[in-house]
Structure 1
Amino acid sequence: MFIWVTAVLVYLAAVFHRTSLGVASLEAGARFHVGPAALGTFTVLQVGVYASMQVPTGLLVDRYGARRVLTVAALLMGLGQLLFAFATSYPLGLLARAVLGVGDAMTFVSVLRLVAAHFPARRYAAVTSFTAALGALGNLASTVPLSLLLASVGWTATFAVTGAATAVYSVVLMLRVRDNPVGVVPEPVDRTESLRTVLTQVGHAWRTPGTRLGFWVHFSTMFAPAMLGLLWGFPYLVQAQGLGEATAGLLLSLLVVGAIVGGPAVGTMISSHPEWRTPLVMTYLVTALGVWALLLGWPGGHVPLWLLVAGFAFLSLGGPASATAFALARDYNPMRRVGTATGVVNVGGFVAITVSALAVGVLLGLVASLGPATAFRIAFLSVVAVLLLGLWRTSVWWRRARAAVFDAASRGEEVPVRIRRRSWDLAPAA
């Protein structure tokens, strides 16, 4: 438990640093002398770096252990934030966020690898959900507390102090975190493997139906609330829906509160009933389509406040639902490959965030002359398109993963979850 708490604090710091630019966007624009489009590049760059680092992070965790990777992650996040504190040019600011993004990208997969090693498999989903919920506290810390700190001590002191604290915490990680419980002998790892062998390991993880299902579950569930919270939710609420900035901020906070409250609830549920995992995800995705249909199809384009509140509250459950993806990676891969499989799965959601955020921005630019309300209705159709793609691929790999479970059970192999064959299941392999 102590090791998990120590590691979760790093993840909380990672989420804080990742979202810290949200309340500092106006100060960033003035400091770097750039407009909204250039400021958006900070977010797209950071998310892109995060996504591209997931598979390498998984490989590093499997090869060198979560303790070492987490230590390096804390150092990089601290250095990135320190550089951001003193940067005065836009290119240097981008470099600082890129370094921060690399450290951030190495955090969550490492923490989940520790969870897989130190907790029983039946508790993995619950602990993963609690981890994500606690990480969301970092998002809360990057709102009002960070804005007050910025107002009182200024840009440089704020980011320098938070960066230095994160870098110093790497010492705690190195001294207090263990990759495996006391008395457990880890599987031997060949650290001289060739690139071909490493790529083969990634290929094995990707070809595992449970991993592929986890990828598409993560792709489908977590991108919409993250895209709204990181970039387009605030301008949508203020410009398209005519809400005041304070009201819009409160509404966006629902995305965080939903993750904090929903995470433990979903995690406990799927830990007690693992057979509910994918049906729960499919229910969320279908209902999310209905929510987007209401938000985008409401007559006149101006959605009532009660519907915005209900819609954002429901969409916030996408983060907790995405924890199912990591449980799938944990259950259907051997322990020596869990880090790699977790990294593969984690790519899914951040690819979807990048694609949807860019698509919304491009479409807004193309139809800006139609007015904010109409422009956002058209631009958010790209979100629906990404959601439909994810729903389709999730349903395909759900059937294939179930078929793999049935085939393994018929061969007398141990399977992580016992399920009953349905009429819509794929035929048994010959």
Structure 2
Amino acid sequence: MQRRVQLPLGKSIFIFVLTALFLCFEMGVQVSTAVMTHDLMQDLSLSTLGLGFMSGFYYYTYTVMQIPAGLLFDRFHVRDVIVIPLLICALGTIVFSFAHGIVLGSLGRLLMGAGSAFAFIAALIVASDLFKPQYFALLAGLTQMLAAFGAMMGATPLLPLLHRFGWRSTMALLAAVAIVLAILVWACIRYERCNTVIHSASPIPSILKSIRAIVRTPQAWIVALYACCLWAPMAGFASLWGVPFLQTVYQLSHTEAASLISLMWLGLALGSPLLGWISDLSRHRRIPLALCGFVGMVAFSWVALNTVLPMWLLGACLFVAGAACSGQALSFAVVRDNSSPSTLAAAIGFNNMAVVVAGAIFQPLIGGLIGDGSSAHFQSGACVIIASLILGGLIPLFGIRNTVRFPAEK
């Protein structure tokens, strides 16, 4: 039986939005390197491959921490499990701002990823705790929308700060934002989860049981693979290589390229809640998930395989490609459909681990394919994302069960 924390609606919405602000911050930090590529390569003496690996360090700890983060949410107070990661994020951002080479830069990204690993899980757990189950897909979409807005803030709006203060001072400012958020979370989030085992006397057997339950479920792996494939355009392109791709292949200015990449995040922001609402209304998951893969493949192929497109068409294709990545957010509704309350946070962490693996894989992979940075090499790197989207369209048709259940509340 699903049990929900009973709070006034206004307070529930406030807590959800406050938690989602952590996700907004995390996404802004995650993609901030996309508008700093030239400065980072110059100041830290990096090649395209080196930049890809350094940026990818964010995803290594983010990936490793997903299941532990979920387990911590299943066993400790929400407030505590949010505040500490926010402070780790702030520390990593400060370390990154002092970097003069790949080692310290990678350490900063490593710490940022470790702290950020808790953000998306936190928002979905709060949504599951405080709102009715039939709204979860919509709330997952809204969560992704807020994440996309955070990513947009880490792109074009960051440029004036970069131009005026430089990337080091800008990163230090982001660290201050994380500290303020930690203070607000500590002061405002005080509810306790209904299905949480607080400070269990024998946590190890319980933890191992939760992990075994997840990894022994074939659907968990299939849905995770789908989520990874659908996130490839955002992690590999929008988060790092999209701006230099548009500058090189389409001969756009830095500001024009960053503005167009922001359209991918806008498409994701608008598409995620809409897709969640449609899926909940129709009680179908598979067809919307498959359409996201195939529509994204068509839209992204237009961008990747051309060298001359009208600005409006280029922007429209990027917007649609971003909107198609909404399937990644809907995959978390599938996870919830198939998870028990006691393992929900860990299951969400497992699926989100697959999402961030996309960054760890595609950022250095595309960086290696880009090589000398010619237009042809940039397009070769983009073809990897096209292949990922094709696979993402096929997985729901042949591997994902259409299970939509709204369990009774207690």
Same amino acid, percent of matched pairs: 24
Matched with 1:138 is 150
Matched with 1:93 is 105
Q: 1:352 to 1:156 in 2, by over 3 A?
A: closer
Q: Is the 8 A contact 1:75 1:170 kept in 2?
A: yes
Q: Secondary structure at the match of 2:33?
A: coil
Matched with 1:249 is 258
Q: 2:316 aligns with which of 310, 332, 357?
A: 310
Matched with 1:416 is 405
Please identify, of 82-91 and 99-108, the stretch whose mean Cα deviation from structure 2 is larger.
82-91
Q: Is the 8 A contact 2:235 2:362 kept in 1?
A: no
1:23-422 aligned at under 5 Å gives the runs: 23-180=35-192, 185-188=194-197, 191-193=200-202, 195=204, 197-208=206-217, 210-275=219-284, 277-295=285-303, 302-303=308-309, 305-365=311-371, 372-398=374-400, 401-402=401-402, 416=405
Q: 2:32 aligns with which of 4, 16, 20?
A: 20
Please identify, of 157-166 and 194-203, the stretch whose mean Cα deviation from structure 2 is larger.
194-203
Q: Secondary structure at the match of 1:380?
A: helix
Q: Secondary structure at the match of 1:229?
A: helix
How far did residue 158 of structure 1 move? 2.9
What is the one-letter code of the residue matched to 2:107? L
Q: TM-score, normalised by structure 2?
A: 0.86
Q: Is the 8 A contact 2:121 2:348 kept in 1?
A: yes
Q: Is the 8 A contact 1:132 1:263 kept in 2?
A: yes
Q: Is the 8 A contact 2:97 2:172 kept in 1?
A: yes
What is the one-letter code of the residue matched to 2:390? L
Q: 1:162 to 1:307 in 2, by over 3 A?
A: closer
Matched with 2:10 is none
How far did residue 109 of structure 1 move? 0.7
Find the aligned partners of 1:26 and 1:297 in 2 and give their Cα distance.
Answer: 24
CA RMSD of aligned residues (A): 2.7
Unaligned runs of 5+ in 2: 1-12
Provide Cα deviations, 1:208-256, integer angstroms capped at 9, x if missing partner: 4553443133123222133211122222222123333333222212112
Q: 1:178 to 1:351 in 2, by over 3 A?
A: same
Find the aligned partners of 2:191 and 2:276 in 1 and give their Cα distance.
Answer: 23
If asked which structure has higher relative contact order (CA below 8 Å, sep 6+), I would say 2
Q: 1:306 to 1:20 in 2, by over 3 A?
A: closer
Q: Secondary structure at the match of 2:34?
A: coil
Q: 1:227 to 1:89 in 2, by over 3 A?
A: closer
What is the one-letter code of the residue matched to 1:291? A
Find the aligned partners of 2:99 and 2:254 in 1 and give their Cα distance.
Answer: 28
Q: Secondary structure at the match of 1:191?
A: coil
Find the aligned partners of 1:26 and 1:376 in 2 and give their Cα distance.
Answer: 16
Q: 1:259 to 1:392 in 2, by over 3 A?
A: closer
Q: TM-score, normalised by structure 1?
A: 0.83
Find the aligned partners of 1:326 and 1:383 in 2 and give their Cα distance.
Answer: 21
Unaligned runs of 5+ in 1: 406-414, 419-430
Q: 1:236 to 1:101 in 2, by over 3 A?
A: same
What is the one-letter code of the residue matched to 2:360? T
Q: Is the 8 A contact 1:43 1:230 kept in 2?
A: no
Provide Cα deviations, 1:56-84, integer angstroms capped at 9, x if missing partner: 21112112243221111111111111222
Q: 1:394 to 1:354 in 2, by over 3 A?
A: farther
